[in-house]
Amino acid sequence: MTRIVELFRKLSLQTKLVLIGLVPTMFFLYVSLQYFHAEKQKLSLLHNNIRLINRADAVNKLIEQLGVERRFGYEFALKKDELSDFKEQFKNTDSAIENLEKTDPELKDLRTYTMLDGLERTRQAVQKKAMPPDGVMGYYTTTMFRISYLDATPELLLDNSGEVNQQINGLKTLSEMNIYLGIINANIYNVLYANRKYAVGTLYGLVGLYQVYNTFEREFMLKASPGAKRSLKYINEKTALKPVITYLDTAFKRMNIDSTYNDVQWWKLSGSANDQLKSLQARLSARVSNTLISLEASENNKVQILLILLVVSLFLIAVVLSLTIRDIRIKLTGLRIAAEKIAVGETGLKLGDYTDDVIGKLAASVAKIDENNKTLAVAATAIGGGNFDIRIKPRGNTDLLGNALLQMKDELQHFTTQKLEYAAELERLLTVIRESETHFRKIADKIPLMIWQTDDQANAIYVNRKWLDYTGFSFEQSMGLKWLDAMHPDDRGSRAFPEAFAQRVSYRSRARFRNTEGEYRWMDIQGNPIFGNQVFEGFIGSLTDITHQMEAEQAMMDLMYKKDEFLSIASHELRTPLTSIKAYTQLLEKTANREDKSYQFVGKMLNHVSRLERLINDLLDVSRINSGRIDYNPESFQFAELLKNSVEAFSDITGSHEVVVENVADVTLKADRSRIEQVFNNLLSNAAKYSPDADKIWVDSRIEADFLVVSVKDVGVGIPKKDQRQLFERFYRSEKTSHRFQGLGLGLFISAEIIRRHGGDIWVQSNPDGGSVFYFKLPLTSNLITP
H or E segment to which residue 47 belongs: helix 13-79
Q: Which is nearer to ligand ADP, 381 or 765 (CB)?
A: 765
Q: How many helices (H) and strands (E) does the chain have?
A: 23, 12
Look at residue 444 and give its three-state secondary structure: helix
CB of 733 to ligand ADP, least distance (A): 3
Parallel, antiparallel or unpaired: strands 696-704 and 658-661: parallel
Q: In whole angstroms, give the CA distance from residue 614 to residue 746.
A: 11
Q: Which is nearer to ligand ADP, 487 or 748 (CB)?
A: 748
Q: Which is nearer to ligand ADP, 568 or 678 (CB)?
A: 678
Q: Which is nearer to ligand ADP, 192 or 746 (CB)?
A: 746
Answer whether 100's CB lies under 8 Å from 110's CB. Answer: yes
CB of 658 to ligand ADP, least distance (A): 16
* Residue ranges that bind ligand ADP, judged by CB under 6 A: 686-687, 690, 714, 716-717, 719, 727, 733-734, 737-738, 743-749, 772
CB of 744 to ligand ADP, least distance (A): 5
Distances (CA, A) of 310 to 19, 20, 300: 19, 19, 15
Burial code (b: 16+ CB inside 10 Å, e: under 16) for 335-349 equals beebeebeeeeebeb
Q: Which is nearer to ligand ADP, 268 or 722 (CB)?
A: 722
CB of 556 to ligand ADP, least distance (A): 21
CB of 749 to ligand ADP, least distance (A): 6
Q: Which is nearer to ligand ADP, 148 or 766 (CB)?
A: 766
Q: Which long-range contacts (CB under 8 A, 24 or more apart) does 493-496 make?
A: none
Dihedral over Cα of 456, 461, 464, 466: its sign: positive
CB of 646 to ligand ADP, least distance (A): 16
Q: In whole angstroms, give the CA distance from residue 233 to residue 278.
A: 14
Contacts of 665 (CB under 8 A, 6+ apart): 639, 640, 701, 702, 703, 708, 710
Query: What are residue 638's phi and psi, to 5 degrees?
Result: -85, 125
CB of 717 to ligand ADP, least distance (A): 5
Q: Which is nearer to ligand ADP, 173 or 691 (CB)?
A: 691
Q: Which is nearer to ligand ADP, 157 or 659 (CB)?
A: 659
DSSP assignment letter at 524 = E
Q: Which is nearer to ligand ADP, 99 or 724 (CB)?
A: 724
Dihedral over Cα of 565, 566, 571, 572: its sign: positive
Q: Where are the beta strands (DSSP E) in 333-412?
A: none
CB of 587 to ligand ADP, least distance (A): 30
CB of 614 to ligand ADP, least distance (A): 10
Q: In whole angstroms, give the CA distance from residue 667 to residue 637.
A: 9
Q: Where are the beta strands (DSSP E) in 352-443?
A: none
State the SS3 of 719-760.
CCHHHHCHHHCCCCCCHHHHCCCCCCCCHHHHHHHHHHHCCC
Q: Which is nearer to ligand ADP, 55 or 713 (CB)?
A: 713
Q: In whole angstroms, give the CA distance from residue 346 to residue 373.
A: 9
CB of 736 to ligand ADP, least distance (A): 7
CB of 768 to ligand ADP, least distance (A): 10
Q: In whole angstroms, give the CA distance from residue 209 to residue 141.
A: 13
CB of 632 to ligand ADP, least distance (A): 20
Q: Which is nearer to ligand ADP, 284 or 712 (CB)?
A: 712
Distances (CA, A) of 127 to 91, 130, 141, 144, 256: 16, 7, 18, 20, 33
CB of 547 to ligand ADP, least distance (A): 35
Q: Which is nearer to ligand ADP, 192 or 694 (CB)?
A: 694
DSSP alpha helix (H) spans, 450-495: 465-471, 475-478
Answer whether 646's CB lies under 8 Å from 661's CB. Answer: no
CB of 735 to ligand ADP, least distance (A): 8
Q: Which is nearer to ligand ADP, 497 or 690 (CB)?
A: 690
CB of 549 to ligand ADP, least distance (A): 28
Q: Which is nearer to ligand ADP, 513 or 728 (CB)?
A: 728
Q: Which is nearer to ligand ADP, 354 or 741 (CB)?
A: 741
Contacts of 107 (CB under 8 A, 6+ apart): 55, 100, 101, 150
Q: Is 39 exposed, middle or buried (0-12, 13-18, 19+ CB in 10 A)?
A: middle
Q: In whole angstroms, give the CA distance from residue 373 to residue 401.
A: 9
Nearest to 220 by CA among 236, 207, 208: 236
Q: Which is nearer to ligand ADP, 644 or 740 (CB)?
A: 740
CB of 680 to ligand ADP, least distance (A): 13
Question: Would you tell me how many other CB atoms lie within 10 Å of the CB of residue 700?
Answer: 17
